[in-house]
Amino acid sequence: MTEQRDKLFREFPPVSTSAWDEKIRADLKGADYDRKLIWRTIEGINIKPFYRSEDINGFDYQQALPGTFPFVRGAKTEDNRWQIRQQILVEDIAAANKKALDLSEKGVTSLEFVLTKKVVLTPEALERLLNNLPLPAVALNFTGYQCETTAALLMPYTNEHNIKPEALKGSINFDPLGRLCIKGNFHYDSEALSVEMLVNVINDTQSLSAFRTIGINARNFVNAGSSIIQELAFSLAMGAEYLSMLADRGLSVKEAAIKMAFYFAVSPNYFMEIAKFRAARLLWAQIVKAFDPGCHESMCIHAETSCWNFTVYDPYVNILRTTTESMSAILAGIDSLTILPFDIAYEKPTEFAERIARNQQIMLKEESYLDRVIDPAAGSYYIESLTESIAVESWKIFLAVQEKGGFIAAMKQGYIQEQVGKTAQQRDLAIATRREVSIGTNQYPNFAEVCQEKPVDYIPACVCNAGKSIVQPLCLYRATEKFEKLRLRTDLGGRRPGIFMLTIGNQSMRLARSQFSCNFFACAGYEVIDNTGFNTLDEGIMAAVAAKADVVVLCSSDDEIAVFAPEAYEKLKGRAILVIAGSPPCMEDLKAKGIDNFIHIRSDVLETLKAYHQKLGIE
């Protein structure tokens, strides 16, 4: 077989990278190579059109095997199994226990109890909450209100139920620095008391060797609009800060590191997300080693589908988003995964939505066999190069935080908030101008979809007590919120303006521009009235007036617009707003004649639609 392969390859002489470049440039026929084929991500990474073996030469970790330092390929050595996690909101102990029992029978291997102020978790309450659960086969995770108090209850519980302490798996998401990010202050109102509680939580769970008790919520950065490298850099800085804090209290690096779990969000950037998790393990291993050269602890990663790109409109698209996000996280070798229900942005998740979220993971495991192969991305020139690029760029930001005195100091100086805010503004603009597409919301909306009542967002929001804040918190939000608010004003306002497509002239141009315009105005919830084409302008004007259109969009070729637009403007006589689809060379001449409404691919869709809301009197 090897001999046949070698013979086959000898028939095809090697082609150099420069030869490929020359061929590509020839095919471009003079077009700018960089502008056409180099994709510059929001992280500032330039993505080339192709990668070759020389792109990954010199990577120190290239020969590392799964389970070996620096864990770029993960800590798993036999398969790629991960824990399927699902959230349970604990507002009533009996109801939460019933749901936990049900989930543990339906494929969930990791339960996440989201504690609320409605429940005080005493030893008796914990007993009822965990009653009849198949422990230690299922992992227990606690987050939410005063989750750290759970630590003192777990060892007595294992003793009473004859569970070996080392067999109990799970986590407590106690993260004072995460609270600082989204609330602006520490737990217990001081850094010192929070650190003291960190030490207590670790001591209380010392014998629970498979239980992580310090959370590092990197997901907060993504859900505030950060880039991938910012999420990685700032979360690594949080981890380093915890190592320093605990070292000052006498804990070894190993004692601290084995208690940490990183909670990352997964964005829709498929290949970059795979590379992100690989880079995260690589850099964290180096940080831990820097604190203690003899300590080789791998990063424990829990991934959660991003709240950032969830939408209220066309919500079933959220299922597609979370499926691809989950695939990238799983292929990257994460330890556990939560898929948020598709309806969480507008209602308390239904049983159906939670079932879909659960079954997505089960299908990826049982039908796609993603649990069988460790790090399938290894050796891919593209992903290996992305891993290196993300690691390099993240490390630069990590060092910048360290130069400012560490994570807390950088937060107090506003550096982290400023950096995330700048990126969020860039992403907002990309959403507004549709350079970043959200199907069903800012592009290709469902024309017939109308929201009957105001949504209730169950994604945790950033709420803080300004009087107790010591830093400006991050602002958590969803990318499409502004578009959704705009459309909700139409849906709940009781009137849907009619947008009439006056299609005339060149068939291909009028069709393309009417499709563009329909999508454009439907993003605001307007009723679009499309047409196949009119033989005369008078025919189109009469039809628009008969339809009682609020807006008439002239769709034709640039040359024909120069002729039709002035005539249409005169014949409408203010009975409807005339909009020109496109950016014709005659635009300035038309503006001089009073025609000043144009929509085209360079338009800021959000701001343009806001302006039409005002013109059409939508409050």
Span 483-495, average pLDDT: 94
Span 27-53, average pLDDT: 93
Tell me: pLDDT of 70 over 70: yes
pLDDT value of residue 462:
47
Tell me: pLDDT of 318 over 90: yes
| Alpha-carbon gap, residue 276 to 232, rounded angstroms | 8
pLDDT value of residue 475:
94
Radius of gyration of the chain (CA): 28
Strands 260-266 and 336-338: unpaired
Tell me: pLDDT of 509 over 60: yes
Q: Which residues of 262-294 are buried (b: 16+ CB within 10 A; e: fewer)?
A: bbbbbbbbeebbbbbbbbbbbbbbebbbebbee
pLDDT value of residue 58:
80
In SS3 terms, 103-155 reads as HHCCCCCEEEEEECCCCCCCHHHHHHHCCCCCCCCCEEEEEECCHHHHHHHHH
Burial class (CB in 10 A: 0-12, 13-18, 19+), 588: exposed
pLDDT value of residue 344:
95
| Alpha-carbon gap, residue 434 to 416, rounded angstroms | 27
- State both tokens at 365: 């495991």
pLDDT value of residue 145:
93
User: Do residues 329 and 277 touch, judged by C-beta distance below 8 A?
Assistant: yes
Cβ neighbours, 10 Å, residue 123: 11
Q: Pick from 528, 513, 514, 509: which is nearest to 612 by CA?
A: 528
Q: Which residue has the higher pLDDT, 460 or 393?
A: 393
pLDDT value of residue 460:
56
| Alpha-carbon gap, residue 256 to 287, rounded angstroms | 13
pLDDT value of residue 375:
95
| Alpha-carbon gap, residue 20 to 37, rounded angstroms | 13
Span 109-137, average pLDDT: 97
- What are 578-591's pLDDT values in tens digits? 999 999 999 999 99
| Alpha-carbon gap, residue 191 to 185, rounded angstroms | 9
Angle CA(116)–CA(121)–CA(123) in degrees, nearest 5?
Answer: 170
Tell me: pLDDT of 431 over 80: yes
Q: Which domains does the chain have, with CATH numbers?
A: 2-56 (no CATH), 83-409 (3.20.20.240), 495-615 (3.40.50.280)
User: Do residues 74 and 368 touch, judged by C-beta distance below 8 A?
Assistant: no
- What are 1-24's pLDDT values in tens digits? 566 666 666 777 888 999 999 999
Q: Kindly give, in sequence order, each residue whose CB lies less than 8 Å from that of residue 41, ignoring residues fewer than 6 positions away.
A: 47, 227, 269, 272
User: Do residues 579 and 598 touch, judged by C-beta distance below 8 A?
Assistant: yes
| Alpha-carbon gap, residue 475 to 366, rounded angstroms | 38
- State both tokens at 204: 């209380």
- Summary mean pLDDT of the chain: 94
pLDDT > 90: what percent of the chain? 90
Span 390-406, average pLDDT: 98
Q: Pick from 216, 174, 380: which is nearest to 303 by CA?
A: 216
pLDDT value of residue 605:
98
| Alpha-carbon gap, residue 141 to 139, rounded angstroms | 7
| Alpha-carbon gap, residue 69 to 50, rounded angstroms | 29
- The strand pairing partners of 170, in sequence order, are 140, 211
- What are 284-299's pLDDT values in tens digits? 999 999 999 999 999 9
User: Do residues 322 and 305 touch, judged by C-beta distance below 8 A?
Assistant: yes
Q: Kindly give, in sequence order, each residue whose CB lies less than 8 Å from that of residue 48, ignoring residues fewer than 6 positions away.
A: 37, 38
DSSP 119: -
Q: Pick from 132, 304, 112: which is nearest to 212 by CA?
A: 112
For 320, the 3-state DSSP assignment is: helix
Q: How confident is the model at residue 568 (pLDDT cuts 50, 70, 90)?
A: very high
| Alpha-carbon gap, residue 82 to 192, rounded angstroms | 36
Span 521-541, average pLDDT: 97
- What are 144-184's pLDDT values in tens digits? 999 999 999 999 999 999 999 999 999 999 999 999 999 99
Q: Pick from 607, 606, 585, 512: which is nearest to 553 by CA?
A: 512
